[in-house]
Amino acid sequence: MDAKKLLNSATLLAFTILLAFIQAIHSPFSFITETHYLSEPYDQKGLIKGGLYLISYLISLVALTSALFISNKWIANGLLGLFTLIFSLDLFVQLLGSSTNGITVALLSTAFNEAGRISDLLVYQQPLLYTVLAAIALFSMASFIRQLIPVQHQIKSIWSLSFLVITLAIIAVLSSKIFSIKTQSYPAPIKAPLVLGKYFADYRSAPQRELDPKIIPAKAARYQTIIWIIDESISGHYLSVNGYHQANTPFLNAFQTQADMQNYGVVAPISNCSNTSNLLLRIGLTSTVQQTFKTAKNTLPTIFQYAKQAGFETYLMDAQIAPGEMQNNLTGEDLKFIDHNLAFPRSVHPQDRDQALLKELVGLLATQPSQPQFIVAVKWGAHWPYSLAYPKQQTLFTPAATESLTEMSMKNQEIITNSYLNALHYSVDYFLQGLLTKPLTDDQVIFYTSDHGQSLFEQAHSPLTHCHYASDPQQLPLGEFKVPLMVFASEAKTKFPKLAQRLYAQEHIFPSTLQMFGYDPAVYQPYGPTLNQGSDLDYAQSFVLDSGLRINIPKTEFHSHSN
């Protein structure tokens, strides 16, 4: 073999090795680690599993590099461009820190449900820049190597495409038949279509939710107006009403001394990402439900179905979307049980959306309803970019970020944190002050919480503030698993007593509401303890994204602020 052929072969080999390494930038030798893991001697079939994985992994690399040999340059460049795009998306996910495995089914579900917020990704300037540069370098390298391949070694596109399809089929069978072999362990262009297929197979084939018509309240509802306020991106431990050292909730600090507010302090959310938290709150998929996650997530009745069956008029108010849009896994079937579905036009600025929502809530509270009403209000809250979540005249903490594209980096920690504190003051304290201007009547109750918290600068390598995924709970930033929980009602401290040595969690809202609808204990107890009971465990549980994975969070991570 002459020097030129040797150099060309070495270049091709280097490119193939590069494809293997960029699969997981935080662990470039992940395929070796995965092979070793699967081959552990404690598993009698370990060597077989490890061998099958390694062989299929190497085949996947060959299948990808076969695109370089396609004789038709248009098909070859198109296929290489597609591969580059998928590699880049996977790399971007890894750079964000949301998942070291890149694209997963859970993250794909999140992406589809948050598609309307794709412009928010522009704030992650550095990861975007790295991704673009990597894409240019990868495609340029692939194009260069194509030029080195002699004509006699080129192949028809049908052979390369067939090889890819067969490889995908083999890996699909392996990952479905051998539980420990995961599609996430393969290069991005191989993994992505398999993950997409699983998403549509598992997440888009959900049956209709049904509530047995025989399940009816055993007694009259306790309240005529029940409101859930689900805020956005509010970390309970960043509120001064819960002990934070900066006074960003002066109204609540004073109001909590009154009888009409019960503050449960910092509690665990039901999940750490918006679309999952809102869904699981809506269907009551608590850690106590005795069903598999997938079955429960797809079949449990919604709180709106229970409300309708109890004779309530139902409202969904979403300050994050425009009329006609749906988010947070809401479906057309769900809308059948929602009498009033209210959203706000895009012309309403982010900093004004919660005030528009507030106006609607105040109007409902001021009117004596002809029938009981149940209201779920989803706020804009402290949604990133924080600087857009509050008017400039409401800036209390300085210096604060003023640009919506301020980079989420350690160098900007002070201005971003101050901007977040300003957003908390406006979206939590100022909002609730406007809502509670007039005392609540005896038949009105308001639950206040947030979908998830924020992991501000907890992980230096990750600019992402929530929606992290990791199979190892130790790798998850706990800031996004800490939210506030408050109840406002006439004599709330008496009606919702905090019991000593009890742990409270967001998931207690669902069974508490069923109890207030008038349902029998046999109906609401399977969803877990109510707020009048609390938990006697020394840990709380939260779901990680839409994966079904539950993590235990020690009781010491939370605190119940004493009033």
CA distance 135 to 129: 10
The torsion angles phi and psi of 450, rounded to 5 degrees, stand at: -135, 160
Give 179 or 332, the one with higher predicted confidence: 332
The mean per-residue pLDDT over the stretch 113-136 comes to: 81
Question: In the structure, what pLDDT confidence band is assigned to residue 139 with cuts at 50, 70 and 90?
Answer: very high
CB atoms within 10 A of CB 25: 16
Checking if the pLDDT of 405 tops 90, the result is no
Question: In the structure, what pLDDT confidence band is assigned to residue 294 with cuts at 50, 70 and 90?
Answer: confident
What pLDDT score was predicted for residue 204?
Answer: 59
Give 440 or 36, the one with higher predicted confidence: 440
CA distance 486 to 231: 12
Identify the helix (H) or strand (E) that includes residue 322: none
Pairing mode, if any, of strands 261-267 and 373-378? unpaired
Give 109 or 170, the one with higher predicted confidence: 170
pLDDT tens sequence across 368-385: 899 999 999 999 999 888
Angle at 32 between CA 31 and CA 36, to 5 degrees: 115
Percent of the chain with pLDDT over 90: 56
The mean per-residue pLDDT over the stretch 33-45 comes to: 69
Checking if the pLDDT of 43 tops 60, the result is no
Checking if the pLDDT of 524 tops 90, the result is yes
Please tell me the total number of residues recorded for the chain in this structure. Answer: 563
The torsion angles phi and psi of 483, rounded to 5 degrees, stand at: -130, 165
What pLDDT score was predicted for residue 379?
Answer: 97
Most confident of 109-118, 161-170, 394-403: 161-170
Most confident of 87-96, 283-292, 303-312, 476-485: 303-312
Percent of the chain with pLDDT over 70: 93
**Which strand ranges, in their side-by-side order, compose the sheet holding 313-318?**
261-267, 483-489, 444-450, 225-231, 373-378, 313-318, 340-343
pLDDT tens sequence across 347-372: 788 899 999 999 999 999 999 899 99
Question: In the structure, what pLDDT confidence band is assigned to residue 180 with cuts at 50, 70 and 90?
Answer: low
The mean per-residue pLDDT over the stretch 247-267 comes to: 97
CB atoms within 10 A of CB 463: 21
Beta-strand ranges (E) seen in 310-398 are: 313-318, 340-343, 373-378
Question: In the structure, what pLDDT confidence band is assigned to residue 4 with cuts at 50, 70 and 90?
Answer: low
The mean per-residue pLDDT over the stretch 161-177 comes to: 91
Average per-residue pLDDT in the chain? 88
What pLDDT score was predicted for residue 562?
Answer: 47
The mean per-residue pLDDT over the stretch 513-524 comes to: 98
**Residue spans of alpha helices (H) in 428-520:** 431-435, 492-495, 509-517
Beta bridge partners of 447: 228, 487
Domains along the chain with CATH numbers: 3-203 (no CATH), 225-557 (3.40.720.10)
What pLDDT score was predicted for residue 388?
Answer: 86
**CA of residue 176 relative to chain centroid, distance:** 25
What pLDDT score was predicted for residue 560?
Answer: 59
Cβ contacts of residue 41 below 8 Å, gap of 6+?
none
What pLDDT score was predicted for residue 563?
Answer: 47
Flag the least confident range among 246-260, 430-444, 469-483. Answer: 469-483
The mean per-residue pLDDT over the stretch 162-183 comes to: 86
**Residue owning tokens 């679309």:** 275
Burial class (CB in 10 A: 0-12, 13-18, 19+), 511: buried
The mean per-residue pLDDT over the stretch 110-130 comes to: 76
Most confident of 38-42, 487-491, 496-500, 544-548: 487-491
pLDDT tens sequence across 186-235: 889 998 998 888 777 765 555 689 999 999 999 999 999 999 999 999 99
Q: Which residues of 377-394 are buried (b: 16+ CB within 10 A; e: fewer)?
A: bbbbbbbbbbbbbbeeee
Question: In the structure, what pLDDT confidence band is assigned to residue 328 with cuts at 50, 70 and 90?
Answer: confident
Cβ contacts of residue 374 below 8 Å, gap of 6+?
226, 227, 303, 304, 307, 312, 313, 314, 315, 513, 517
pLDDT tens sequence across 470-490: 877 788 889 999 999 999 999
CB atoms within 10 A of CB 22: 19
Checking if the pLDDT of 497 tops 70, the result is yes
Question: In the structure, what pLDDT confidence band is assigned to residue 543 with cuts at 50, 70 and 90?
Answer: very high
What pLDDT score was predicted for residue 103?
Answer: 82
Cβ contacts of residue 383 below 8 Å, gap of 6+?
232, 233, 320, 350, 389
